[in-house]
Amino acid sequence: MSDMSTGHRYDAGRYEIRVKGRLDSRWTAWFDDMTLTDESDGTTRIHGPVIDQAALHGLLKKLRDIGLPLISVTQVRPDRPALPLIDPR
Amino acid sequence: MVGPLLETKLHVPRRRRALVSRPRLNERLSRGAESALTLVSAPAGFGKTTLLTDWLGTSAVDGWSIAWVSLDERDNDPALFWSYVLAALEVAAPGVGVHARALLQSSPSPIESVLATLLNGLSAASKDVVLVLDDYHVIDAREVQEGMAYLLEHLPPQIQLVIAGRADPSLSLGRLRGRGELVEIRAADLRFTAEEAAAYLNGAMGLQLKAADVAVLEGRTEGWIAALQLAALSMQGREDVPAFIEGFAGDDRFVVDYLAEEVLQRQPEHVRRFLLHTSILSRLNGALCDAVTGQDGGRTMLEALDRANLFLVPLDDRRRWYRYHHLFADVLQAHLLDEQPDELPRLHRRAVDWYEQNGERSEAIDHALAAEDFPRAADLVELALPALHQGKQEATVRRWMEALPDELFAVRPVLSVGYVGAFMATGETDGVETRLLSAERWLDTTEAVGKAPGARAGMVVLDHEEFRRLPGQIAMYRAARALVHGDVAAAMAHARTALDLAGADDHVGRGGPAALLGLAYWTTGDLDAAHRWYADGLASLDKGGYRTDVIGGAVALADIRIAQGRLREAMTTYQRALHRAEGTDPVLRGAADMHVGMSQLFIERDDLAAARHHLLRSQELGEHNGLLQHPYRRRLAAARLQVLDGDPDGALDLLDQAERVYNSDFSPDVRPIPAVRARLWITHRRLDDALDWVRERGLSVDDDLDYVREYEHITLARVLVARGAAESAERPLHEATGLLDRLLRAAEEGQRTGSVIEILVLQAMACQIRGDLPAALSWLERGLTQAEPEGYVRTFVDEGAPMVAVLRVAAAREIAPGYVRRLLAAVDTTRDGGPVHHDLVEALSARELDVLRLLGTDLDGPDIARRLFVSLNTVRTHTKNIYAKLGVNNRRAAVRRAGELELASPPDDRRPLGLAVHDG
């Protein structure tokens, strides 16, 4: 629909979501083909393109539904350094 | 509804044996009875549902009635959400939701009306009810959340509301917390303590673990119950339990991921496959599982899984329906997506087949969409449309339609027009024409007799009956759209086309466009044609069984009659509709509208007691009994009474309110509220404000006249007459007379006698102010002749001193002597204030008289309540009724009015107020 397409222009981008605990790569498909990377500190970085805010919230809802503790959500702009949106640490 | 409500959603999930008892949490839940809201908010797998079912089995809840709803995503449709809530309450306390349910099913019902009615039912409930809404986190529709906020705000004390979910609901929790009205149980409370973990693992699950091992497990899972459950399942029957614990503790994988893997690995291959394949189902039973897996033995398998505690939740007592624990289902689906992604569409398609064969179209559609089998989904949606429209599930229609790709609509005319219907039902017209055009392209070539629909290559039609009605429906939607946009000519043309296309016995197909045609004629000022067509439309709708629409239609019919100066017929119209509405139990919607209409007519007749009585009656029925126009019309009528009570400021307040809640419901706005306000300014010497209004509206005596602006133009004439009087100026009077001459000709041409009488009265006023008494008398006489048969009073009397002067001369010259005498008598009573209202006293009950007397003292509300041995709420109710009956809106005015009406001192045969029973 026309009003959905407006989301593309303003919010599309890459996001990095960090969760507590290592996550097997089998979850890739469940997270809409985002890339899962294990970090050395026992967290997992879920990253990749997100088409708009609605999609981002859908992703966060999936984390909530399997009880994954959320650590941070960051928008990654190719031309700028990472901008933390939520970072409780 | 598409398919009946799912009973399993109203079932309190069965308590699992082998629970860890948690008295501390149960106690806290019981404390919720004294609070507005009990909230159980924690992530998946924290035992929220288990805790609640356990608590509901304790003695603390003995004697309570339990209403339970397990929510899912579909319940974001407000019609569906509230249907489930009402059904659950019906199970718990039969009868409390009957009226609300009737309202929800009738059209069109704003949710707030349904809820107001429900709250009425609930406050009358004799039993304590606990209403549990489980999995509330799935609700993100704003309309549902707003409805819940309203419900929460007004919930009577005998209802305990419990909301459980994985996210905090969008309700003002901070405020509730501040007021101590919130009982919360959160993740920190739900986590198993070391003792609880031990009781669970060693007691319930029969493992014999050392305290140190329990501590390790508790630490690694952080008391997360689902994880402990998975761990227990992994350890059961295992030889090397210590090795397992050691491995688990030394791993930093996400606990559920790690443990679910453990559990799944230990299942035989066929069980594992069954679990993965059936994980796509939101509910499971044997037959459905067989259909989806393509195997036999689904039922046996489910029973085995249930026995093995493999995260299966039974949904009924007979062990027919189950679901997976949500967390487990998600883990299974992640495995399925990873291992067999290509299987997914096939599994969903099989679910579609099964649900379709079993008549559960709604589930079938969701699976078809999940399979991305859009043509199939579109087929099913098309077939579901009539039931969806009837069930007012417009939100569901739109959700499904929006999931379908645009190109499908291009070849599916019935679906396209169904989409339009869902849009127009909520008053939206954007994008409507595009869809109508795309549907219409298919019609021209397929109309040939004998040629089967669908003969044209590429077109897809499932519902052939609807297809035959499409040309008429398209024309009708166009007529409605044109009317909303003010294009009357187009509205008429389309409505006529729709009528030509409708079959003789297609009542609904005829009724809609005929009524629209009537409204279009009304807009042009051809009242005769307007009444004829509108009545014709209502007759068809009546035959089609649309009772509420027929009752509501009386408002428009009576309006037209009033404009024609046929007040008696207008009264009959209201009375007939009222008779129908009040002839059933519960009273049908629209009765309140009729009372308001009758109140207006009684005001014109100067029977103010009757006018008040009907307004009060409409208030008793409540706003929710009214149709779309009711909120503003009721305020207009109340404002008129306020003016007569000498409270113009109160009246202006009501007009402001009326403007805010205005809804035309497709009727032309022939009495704009700002013009009504301007008239009030004129009579209360705020001529500058009235002149501002004239400028704002760009009104001029040279305007071309058309009916829709007639009321405004007559108001302009009033402004000019008032100005002429105030400034003793000839020019405004002259301008007024010229405008009135033209207005009179137009009104006479259109046979609008109501307008004619008012214009004649104003002409008489202008002449009188100018000092031309003979001319004034002559205008007045013409007015009297037309008005007498219909009993007009206030149209003359409200004009005040100049009119009274002319009437006195008319009386002296014996012009319409009986009628003029009546009019002058009305002037006297109005001036003296008193006598007309006397019969009102009968309407005050003995108790209300008690309260009224105490209102005259210094006692405050709580004191009055104590004095009369009733609750503060009861006092409030009485006070509200007293104000309504006396036509006032505050305590001081009530006392003053009581004085005027001699209610405060004991008159001859009336019960003396001073001797209230409980005094002292």
Q: What is the pLDDT of residues B705-724, one digit of tens each?
A: 999 999 999 999 999 999 99
Residue of B167, B327, B335 lying closest to A66 (CB–CB): B327
CA proximity to B79, closest of B372, B392, B420: B392
**Which residue in the block uniquely carries the two structure tokens 């037209």?**
B560
State residue B833's pLDDT score: 39
In this structure, what is the dihedral angle of CA atoms B899, B903, B909, B910, given to the nearest 10 degrees?
-170
**Nearest-CA residue of chain B relative to A32?**
B337
CA proximity to B284, closest of B247, B323, B313, B332: B323
Nearest CA of chain B to the CA of A46: how many Å?
A: 14
Nearest CA of chain A to the CA of B330: how many Å?
A: 7
Q: What pLDDT digit, counting tens, does each position of B179-234 carry?
A: 889 999 999 999 999 999 999 999 888 888 999 999 999 999 999 999 998 899 88
Q: Is B257 on the interface with A (CB under 8 A)?
A: yes
What's the CA angle centered on B222, arms B217 and B228, to 5 degrees? 50
Chain A interface test: which of B170, B228, B251, B257 (most A C-beta within 10 Å): B257
In this structure, what is the dihedral angle of CA atoms B672, B676, B682, B688, given to the nearest 10 degrees?
-50
B chain contacts of residue A30, beta-carbon cutoff 8 Å: 330, 333-334, 337-338
With respect to CATH, is domain B7-190 assigned 3.30.1330.60?
A: no
Structure tokens at B110: 């704003």
**Nearest-CA residue of chain B relative to A38?**
B253
State residue B920's pLDDT score: 31
Nearest CA of chain A to the CA of B849: how many Å?
A: 59
State residue A2's pLDDT score: 40
State residue B913's pLDDT score: 36
A chain contacts of residue B335, beta-carbon cutoff 8 Å: 26
A chain contacts of residue B341, beta-carbon cutoff 8 Å: 29
State residue A78's pLDDT score: 59
Spatial distance between the Cα atoms of B732 and B557, rounded to a whole number of angstroms:
36
What kind of fold does domain B405-535 have according to CATH?
1.25.40
What does each C-alpha distance from B430 to B81, B401, B424, B653 come to in angstroms?
27, 16, 9, 34
> Which residues 6+ apart lie within 8 Å of A51 measured at CB?
A7, A8, A12
**Nearest-CA residue of chain A relative to B339?**
A26
CATH class of the domain whose range is B837-915: mainly alpha
Do the Cβ atoms of B334 and A30 come within 8 Å?
yes
B chain contacts of residue A24, beta-carbon cutoff 8 Å: 253, 257, 261
H/E element holding B38?
strand B37-41
Instruction: Answer yes or no: is the ipTM higher than 0.90.
Output: no
H/E element holding B56?
helix B48-56
B chain contacts of residue A22, beta-carbon cutoff 8 Å: 252-254, 257
Contact between B204 and B19 (Cβ < 8 Å):
yes
Residue of B44, B137, B167 lying closest to A66 (CB–CB): B44
pTM over 0.95: no
Residue of B43, B253, B339 lying closest to A67 (CB–CB): B43
Tallying the residues shown for chain B, one arrives at 920
State residue B817's pLDDT score: 93
What's the CA angle centered on B376, arms B372 and B378, to 5 degrees? 95
State residue B914's pLDDT score: 33
Residue of A22, A29, A30 lying closest to B253 (CB–CB): A22
So what's the architecture of A2-86 in CATH? 2-Layer Sandwich (3.30)
B chain contacts of residue A28, beta-carbon cutoff 8 Å: 338
CATH of domain B546-666: 1.25.40.10
Low-confidence ranges of chain B (pLDDT < 50): 1-2, 18, 446, 448-451, 453-454, 832-842, 904-920
Do the Cβ atoms of A29 and B341 come within 8 Å?
yes
Q: At how many degrees (to 10) do helices B567-582 and B591-604 cross?
A: 150
A chain contacts of residue B330, beta-carbon cutoff 8 Å: 30, 62, 65-66
Do the Cβ atoms of B166 and A42 come within 8 Å?
no
B223: number of Cβ within 10 Å: 19
Nearest CA of chain A to the CA of B42: how many Å?
A: 9
Spatial distance between the Cα atoms of B172 and B681, rounded to a whole number of angstroms:
41
